[in-house]
Structure 1
Amino acid sequence: MERLLKVQAYQPGGHAAWRLLPLLLCLLPTVALAKNEIAFRVTGVPTDLSAKLQRAMPALSYNGKEARLHELVLSANLRLRDALQAYGFYHAKWDTKTISGPNGDATVQYHIDLGAPIRLRSKDIRIEGQIDENPVLRKTIAPFPLADGDILDQVLYSTWKDQTLSFLESKGYVNAYYPRHEILIDRKQNWAEIYLWLNSGKRYRVGSIHIVGADRYPRWFIDRYLTIKPGDWYSPRALSLTQSNLHDANRFQNIQVTGDTTNLHGDSIPVTIKLASLPEQHLKVGVGYSTDIGLNGILYYDDYNMFRRAQHLHVAVQVAQKSRNIGGTYTWPVGAALGSEYIASTSFQNETYQIWSANELRAAIGRRWALADNARKNVNASIQAMFNLEQANYTVSGISDSSFYLFPSITYSVQNYRNILRPVSGFYVRATAEGASKVWGSTSNFLRLRVRGGWDEMLNRNWGVGGRASLGALWLHGNIRFLPPDLRFFAGGQNSLPGYAFQSQGPTNAEGAVVGGRLLAVAGVHVDRFISHDWAIDAFYDIGNAFDSFSTFHALQDVGLGARWYSPVGPIKLDLAHPLVAPRAPAVRLVLSVGFDF
């Protein structure tokens, strides 16, 4: 009898590529991952197992070097063997066939005979310790996924083992451990026995929280970043989230959030948070480029701790080819939730675009309420209520006017991305309602609604898909000429219809000049082909326009190809977009954007 102690199990990830719709595939031409690629294909096994094995052997580049090609094939053989054993097939054999492709590419095809699998003969699963005093919590632990007689799937075994330990640690059992965790295998008789004993240990709560350093900031302000409080069940994950929140505040450095497990007080673990303050005043100068506004220079000044009350003054000066503006925003935190604050802002903008130009003086004051829990790291949700003033002088398609508006607005926004610097999986929604009345001294009465959103999804490690939409409706008493351009609806630009110039499309007047509309409907889809973790090639299609009524809606369309670099400061996108309806010079527009636009 041969007995083996397994101490490591193979853990694949991802999803099957068949989920990508054939229609979307038509949008993107075939793109080689790299020069001289070698791919690996598995046949002769059930579909679900084939997908699992395939993920263990991704396509690789060997750059035309025969020695490297031979090395990659040997490595793939080892990975295939390990993956088969991880799923319970220790007697598998295979025939190998190498198929040459164009441009020096090659495919290694494995036709596999699985042989007799290893089946689970018995299992000894124990969960002991202080958790027995909490039967309700004990019942929430997921049942062990393998039954006697099942094929030995070490991936399921390892996943359950790790997730269960992590679950107990998140509930205060920080000393939980496995006194015995082994799989005994008899390859000759094709059976296995699992021994998995889990001891929860004692359950602990968060004790006193001691903050050291950053003395210039008020304690109540620092408390807003904490995802723990005395009396909570102690969780290493909660401590990690607190440290991450403090890091994202842009106010602190050398952040350490630690629990002193050597200095216990009964069932409590004291926590110490060590901080050092960053300089409170920042001055930043930058140069950028946006297709919508052209080359631009930016000057930022920030004071993050006005009056030593953690109030934030932000001043921005931007000079661009098509837009010049200067503005300031003052925020002061209120309440316990991160992101809840009072806001006051003012700005002056001078803008000159293809269809319109304007000088706008704006001011606003209001309040933002954070809706997301501080512990939900990837979620940002809020409601913002503002009272706005706008004085504008503008010219639209050769017609000059001026206006004055006082109006309230309310905005709901939610953004849920796993990583905002690499927004490839998640969604966002932003909805705003605003309106003005002559009773308040405004030029005319209006009610305006605007909703925009988008979603992205990774289908597997190589393919992603997403979409976006922007909808708007405007009820106006009187002629649209009495509204400044920023309150009308136009289409075109990098976040609308990139095949057309920024805010150049919409309803026209009797002379055929674009004047903006009362309704907006724009949507788009895109497919991403990742050529590495941080680089992707993108194909997209957009449709929509601004209009005054559904009977006059004229849908514009564009298509394009682009490149995506998910840089350390956020996504950088370079697109080539071609209008399909009413094309104007240039036939292909170059669109560049930097950062995630929420």
Structure 2
Amino acid sequence: MLLNRYSQILFFCLLLFSSGLYADEIEYVVTGVGEPMSENVHNHVSAFRIGSGARLNSRLRRRLVKDTEASVVKAMRPFGYFNPEVSVDITSRGAGKWLLSVDVAAGPPVIIEKLVLDLSGPGSALAPLQEWYKAFPLKEGGVLNQQAWDQAKQAAVVLLEESGYLRAGFRRHVMRVDPVANLAWLELLLDTGPQAIMGEVTFNQDLLEPGLLDGLQRFKSGDPYNAWLLGEFRLDLWRSGYFDGVEVVERRELDADPPRVDFEVNFEARKKNTYQALVGYGTDTQARLQLLWSRHLLSPRGDKFDIRFGWQQKDNEFALSANYRLPRKTGDRQFWIASLGLQSEKQALEVSASDDIENRFDIARGSVDDYWLRLGKVKARNMRDGYEQLFETVFIQYLNETRDFSLTSNADTGGQPLSVAGPFSKLLNDRGKSLLIGMDWDWPEIRGSGFNTVGHHQRAWVFTSNKAWGSDDDFTQVFVSSRWNLLAGERWKFLLRAEAGYSNATTTDIKVPTDAGELNVSVSDLPYLYRFKAGGSRSVRGYDFEQLDDNGLGSNNVLTASAEVEFRFHDDWSVAAFFDIGNAFNDWSKPDLKRGAGLGLRWYSLIGALRLDVAQGLDLEGNPWRVHLTIGTPLL
């Protein structure tokens, strides 16, 4: 008896399951109207359900036609069509399969007879709100569009909230439609209400001493509420390096006079140590390697320490530095910094019997080793009311530099010892020290990602060295650079950059004995670490990396500029055309600027922008072509 009951239950379940397997299927086709109306119609009519396992019999077909006609009418109303003509046809396509064809004639649209749009309140003169008012999508005499109406209302509330008008609302929002006359009357009265202010910030953390995080605020208590600055505040807290997670909770006191928003910040502590290793390849550097160890928090004072190592195959260059940073307890964002480092690279002293840089030959090869200690103070200055930040560094730097070169077979000293070759000896083997005092400015403002990366990056510095305080040589250097990314629509982008550097270091013209005869070499007293070079993928394309200077060892001055236009032909792909010009030189009366031009391909991948350029050196004999490959945004 019990087995028979179980058999009945099992049979009933199988029956239900099999009926589900054989439920009728309906395919929907919408014609007569285009997007986005056809999609909305399809979404409405395809929502019809006939039940699990049900057959589409004649009764259900009549119901389906009726429901479809009603659904089409509803689907067309948001676009201003209240009286569409609908034709529905159901045809069988075999056992259990049906085709539902819906043909829609939109009919006459509903026209806006009158539109009343009014702004009131303290924020009614706000520039973004005035732009919204002027660009309101519905006009008298135009077709009614309920989606545009709803989206415009939402956009107004959002932009007002971003500017601190948190009590903004509509005193009246009315839409009256006469579907017989196909006319509509709209009334939208928006009141901004008072602007809220930034309140107090409470940090719920015990990692750092009180007051250390105050400098990360780009606003003060009592400033107008600004959602964008609040977002940057969250990012600045995360960028500080102390925390893995940052939560900023708003406590809105909208009934206060004026309305106030207090903030409570919760944190998730970061691991104290992180390690990074990066490998890569580029036509400028060839193979390269970077290693980084960071100790993000040494003590509750917020001090940090890191060690960086970098190596590149080009010139067998490597650099090692140790960096320390200690926040200052001030009302703004300031740090004490200290850096200790060394850099070494292989170099060649090059000369030419003419001005043709392609026919240079090296007369000496060796290494340049630099050791430095830099102490300074960094201050973040808010620009444009905190929307951007400029980082200003005042520093003092000690540099010890050693040059150790040996003559190649191209040099000819007449069989005499090297010391007899006069000032040429100092050029090959020398040790010098410099004590500098200077300032550095870094102003990055980069937004977006991939092709849509826009913004600017400005750099400048000035420093001076003098024998009066222990340096071996007197010199001063000034440098400025500017880079811009500008979008024009969805497919076009313009990239502009320029740089200029000047050093008043002494230059000496040395007669160098070579197999080709005695040649003149212009040599700067400027330490090698501060000399300028040009050429390569981030400078003047069409020329080798750092090919442009006086003698292969760098020059006192630099002047470069570039203009590039980019066209996106696919989501992550674009093509580019560019023109570069510039040089590094010692004599301002003979800058001899070199030109380069070419075409490029861009792929915006997850690891950064891959830039492949084919460029022609227009001032080289035969105008040869060179390939340049880089990864990373050119704003950095």
What is the TM-score normalised by the length of structure 2?
0.66
In the alignment, is the contact (CA less than 8 A) between 1:494 and 1:502 conserved in 2? yes
Instruction: Describe the shift of the 1:524–1:171 C-alpha distance in structure 2 as closer, same or farther (beyond 3 A).
Output: closer
State the identity %.
21
One of 243, 259, 277 as aligned partner of 1:252? 243
For 1:498, give the aligned amino acid. R
Which 10-residue stretch deviates more, 578-587 or 285-294? 578-587
2:372 aligned with 1:372: no
Instruction: Describe the shift of the 1:402–1:158 C-alpha distance in structure 2 as closer, same or farther (beyond 3 A).
Output: farther
Structure 2: 5+ residue stretches without partners: 1-29, 42-76, 84-106, 350-364, 408-426, 509-522
Instruction: Please list the CA deviations of residues 164-205 of structure 1 after superposition, one character each: whole Å capped at 9, or x if unmatched.
Output: 423432454424333654555668867542221335567655
How far apart are the structure 2 equivalents of 1:196 and 1:138? 14
Per-residue deviation at 1:332? 1.5
2:282 aligned with 1:294: no
1:324 matched residue in structure 2: 318
Q: SS of 1:224's equivalent?
A: helix
How far apart are the structure 1 equivalents of 2:456 and 2:81? 40
How far apart are the structure 2 equivalents of 1:421 and 1:148? 37
2:338 aligned with 1:344: yes
One of 190, 209, 212 as aligned partner of 1:218? 209
In the alignment, is the contact (CA less than 8 A) between 2:273 and 2:293 conserved in 1? yes
Instruction: Describe the shift of the 1:470–1:353 C-alpha distance in structure 2 as closer, same or farther (beyond 3 A).
Output: farther
One of 477, 497, 509 as aligned partner of 1:448? 477
How far apart are the structure 2 equivalents of 1:524 and 1:205? 44
In the alignment, is the contact (CA less than 8 A) between 1:88 and 1:151 conserved in 2? no
Instruction: Please list the CA deviations of residues 130-149 of structure 1 after superposition, one character each: whole Å capped at 9, or x if unmatched.
Output: x4xx5xx4444528336975
Instruction: Describe the shift of the 1:456–1:311 C-alpha distance in structure 2 as closer, same or farther (beyond 3 A).
Output: same
1:557 matched residue in structure 2: 595
Report the structure number with the largest CA radius of gyration.
2
Instruction: Describe the shift of the 1:572–1:339 C-alpha distance in structure 2 as closer, same or farther (beyond 3 A).
Output: farther
For 1:502, give the aligned amino acid. F
1:125 matched residue in structure 2: 117
2:537 aligned with 1:499: no
**Number of residue pairs the alignment of both structures matches:** 493
Instruction: Describe the shift of the 1:495–1:486 C-alpha distance in structure 2 as closer, same or farther (beyond 3 A).
Output: farther
Q: SS of 2:213's equivalent?
A: helix
Instruction: Please list the CA deviations of residues 241-291 of structure 1 after superposition, one character each: whole Å capped at 9, or x if unmatched.
Output: 332332333322332212245998885454322111111222222322343
2:587 aligned with 1:577: no
Query: RMSD value over aligned CA atoms?
Result: 4.3
2:362 matched residue in structure 1: none
One of 567, 573, 582 as aligned partner of 1:529? 567
2:608 aligned with 1:589: no
Q: SS of 1:250's equivalent?
A: coil
2:462 matched residue in structure 1: 433
How far apart are the structure 1 equivalents of 2:486 and 2:79? 28
In the alignment, is the contact (CA less than 8 A) between 2:172 and 2:189 conserved in 1? yes
Which 10-residue stretch deviates more, 183-192 or 214-223? 183-192
How far apart are the structure 2 equivalents of 1:247 and 1:366? 24
1:361 matched residue in structure 2: 371
Within 5 Å, give how 1:57-456 maps onto structure 2: 75=35, 120-125=112-117, 131=121, 134=122, 137-140=123-126, 142=130, 144-145=133-134, 149=140, 151=142, 161-178=153-170, 180-181=172-173, 183-184=175-176, 192-200=184-192, 204-212=196-204, 214-227=205-218, 230-234=221-225, 236-261=227-252, 268-321=260-313, 322-334=316-328, 340-353=334-347, 357-372=367-382, 376=386, 379-394=388-403, 399-400=427-428, 401-419=430-448, 424-456=453-485
Structure 1: 5+ residue stretches without partners: 1-69, 92-114, 509-513
Instruction: Describe the shift of the 1:518–1:409 C-alpha distance in structure 2 as closer, same or farther (beyond 3 A).
Output: same
Instruction: Describe the shift of the 1:586–1:306 C-alpha distance in structure 2 as closer, same or farther (beyond 3 A).
Output: farther
How far apart are the structure 2 equivalents of 1:276 and 1:350? 40
For 1:342, give the aligned amino acid. W
Q: SS of 1:581's equivalent?
A: coil
How far apart are the structure 1 equivalents of 2:528 and 2:284? 15
Per-residue deviation at 1:495? 1.7
How far apart are the structure 1 equivalents of 2:605 and 2:328? 34
Q: SS of 1:444's equivalent?
A: coil
1:477 matched residue in structure 2: 506
For 1:405, give the aligned amino acid. S
In the alignment, is the contact (CA less than 8 A) between 1:396 and 1:485 conserved in 2? no
Instruction: Describe the shift of the 1:393–1:536 C-alpha distance in structure 2 as closer, same or farther (beyond 3 A).
Output: same
1:544 matched residue in structure 2: 582
Instruction: Describe the shift of the 1:234–1:524 C-alpha distance in structure 2 as closer, same or farther (beyond 3 A).
Output: closer
Which 10-residue stretch deviates more, 353-362 or 158-167? 158-167
How far apart are the structure 2 equivalents of 1:89 and 1:518? 72
2:72 matched residue in structure 1: none
Instruction: Please list the CA deviations of residues 524-565 of structure 1 after superposition, one character each: whole Å capped at 9, or x if unmatched.
Output: 111212234443333222112122335423232222333334
How far apart are the structure 2 equivalents of 1:347 and 1:597? 26
How far apart are the structure 2 equivalents of 1:88 and 1:543? 57
Per-residue deviation at 1:587? 4.1
How far apart are the structure 1 equivalents of 2:268 and 2:309? 30
In the alignment, is the contact (CA less than 8 A) between 1:541 and 1:557 conserved in 2? yes
In the alignment, is the contact (CA less than 8 A) between 1:569 and 1:595 conserved in 2? no
Q: SS of 1:296's equivalent?
A: strand
Per-residue deviation at 1:153? 8.9
How far apart are the structure 2 equivalents of 1:208 and 1:517? 53
For 1:295, give the aligned amino acid. A
Q: Name the structure, 1 or 2, with higher relative contact order (CA <8 Å, separation 6+).
A: 1
Instruction: Describe the shift of the 1:268–1:380 C-alpha distance in structure 2 as closer, same or farther (beyond 3 A).
Output: closer
How far apart are the structure 2 equivalents of 1:545 and 1:538? 23
Instruction: Please list the CA deviations of residues 430-478 of structure 1 after superposition, one character each: whole Å capped at 9, or x if unmatched.
Output: 1222221222222222222211111111111111111111212221235
